[in-house]
Amino acid sequence: MSDVDSSLLKQMFHEARSQNGWSDQPVSDETLAAAYEIAKWGPTSMNTQPMRLLFIRSQEAKERLKPALAPGNVDKVMAAPVVAIVAHDSQFHEHLPRLFPHNPNAPGMFAGNEGLAQATAFRNGTLQGAYFMIALRAVGLDVGPMSGFDPAKVDAEFFAGTTFKSNFLCGIGHGDPAKVMGRLPRFELGEISQTL
């Protein structure tokens, strides 16, 4: 492994941490776009690409988000330069003629099967959210994913009248090292896998 590879792996995984506090260093729209340009190439089943992002940047927008937050996440959200609401489009299949053009029957697989559509949107939107977080780290940013919030409140406040459903929140910026928790343990491969 080259030194460049080793350095990037440290930045993206080995030394990267979920952030609980933030510096006041800004995050540009260009940097967010650069991360998305990396993340968009991550695979999704049938190229469904159901993830949708809403970037919360202004104090006014953060105040709108605040009532939906678990108490432990309020300070993290209010201090983050950007908070992404990572959502998925429950009607993603409407875009399949463009995204999966070699199968003209693809939209019909989901349009008549709400259970399959919802499971596919959630699963692949979650995958894309993970790709996006890793890409944010790759372009030099830190992330702080959060699931402590009321999705129904978020959807009513930000996605009313749309087909989008919130999945998780993610603070984005440059983390404050003083507010990072100690490294928590991880399973070894042999503890969580088997080969048949």
Domain ranges of the chain: 23-177
Let me know if domain 23-177 sits in CATH 3.90.110.10: no
Supply φ then ψ for residue 49, to 5 degrees: 45, 55
**Of the candidates 182, 155, 179, the residue with the CA atom closest to the CA atom of residue 167:** 155
State mean pLDDT over 161-176: 98
- The secondary structure element, H or E, covering residue 83 is strand 82-89
Structure tokens, 72: 């432990």
**Of the candidates 22, 169, 149, the residue with the CA atom closest to the CA atom of residue 83:** 169
- pLDDT higher at 8 or 195: 195
- Res. 78: pLDDT tops 80: yes
- Res. 24: pLDDT tops 80: yes
pLDDT digits (tens, 9 = 90+) for 84-110: 999 999 999 999 999 999 999 999 999
C-alpha radius of gyration, the chain, whole number: 18
